[in-house]
Structure 1
Amino acid sequence: MNTEEIKLKSETERLVLRPLQNQDYKRWLEGCLNRFPSQYKYDDNKMDLSGWTQQKFNYDVVSKFQKYADQDEAYVFGVFRKSDQKQVGKVEVETIMREEFQWGLLGYTIHNQFWRNGYGKEAVKELLNIAFKNLHFHRIEAHINVDNKPSIKLAESIGMEFECIRKGFIFEFDEWTDNLVYYMNSK
């Protein structure tokens, strides 16, 4: 898929979703550095950013994400607040399978200092619009740990439907864990 032909920037009432660019380094760094300590099991701890330079960001984030998009493997969008241009998180859709399936996987992370403002819901709803209209996916799934209540609540609040539990689906926390599968099909 030629990403130059695809509209990959979108806006909501309060947010801008777009691929990260080299000039986003300071906003990205600020968002990561200002995270609160982990709030629960599925909230990432602060990253060790001591080795992250502008060059490393350009190569390990911007170039890598662009390569994924160019190869139709994944589309990663920075989520920026319109009022002050702060990066509040990221959302992504990964290609599971194309051809007759047009099937993707949803991912989202909002920095915890921006929680409880509805940014996750707003960003994920817009990502689904992009995935269906611009990237031509037919089905998007979210794979959610069975005890990740905030993520379950988000998926349900945007109209994703629970489909099943996949037993021993993902290896994390040093064991094979079960995941809930929520999905949405294009209309």
Structure 2
Amino acid sequence: MSSQKSSHYKADSKMELDTNRKAWIFQPSDLNFVWGGDSRYWIVPKEPRVPAELKMVSWLEVTGSFEETEPGKAYQIGFKISFKPDATGWDGAPLVMSAKIGKKGKTVWKKIKSVNQNKGGSEPVNIPDESDGQFEISVSPTADNQDTKLQFGLYEVWTGRWKTGLLIHEAFVSTSVSSLLETQILL
């Protein structure tokens, strides 16, 4: 039997609730990184609040999952990212986010145009940003006996170009403003 180490990084899945931001926060170690098990491609820290660093990949796939969903609620999803000054391969790269509810749910996709606007700055920014609009997915109100696990991801798998210099600080999931307003109206 082989004890070969995987070339992919599998998450510890220990998200934390940030009550100030009203969001569940996923540190880099709480996310899955394709090629993240190989330090030639990614450096995924075990320490909290240290970003994961993309060394070099042509297939960018970072995913996570969230099991705290409730039927009838909508959730916003995002990532906090930045770029190293020498980042390459991002010009015109179609960075995309996806999400679905349950294993058999319909996948929702959103192209993140703001990534190229933010490439020059080293300060972390949230994507999608205001220019992209929010990325939101809803759980069916009749989902009581269904799989309601939210699965989400960040991808660039289409160009085949090598990309470097991306820093992933965190991912986050929050109850959308529309869900919060509906709850307040019902109360």
Length-normalised TM-score, structure 2: 0.27
Length-normalised TM-score, structure 1: 0.27
- Higher helix fraction: Structure 1 or Structure 2? 1
The answer to which structure, 1 or 2, has the higher relative contact order (CA under 8 A, 6+ apart) is 2
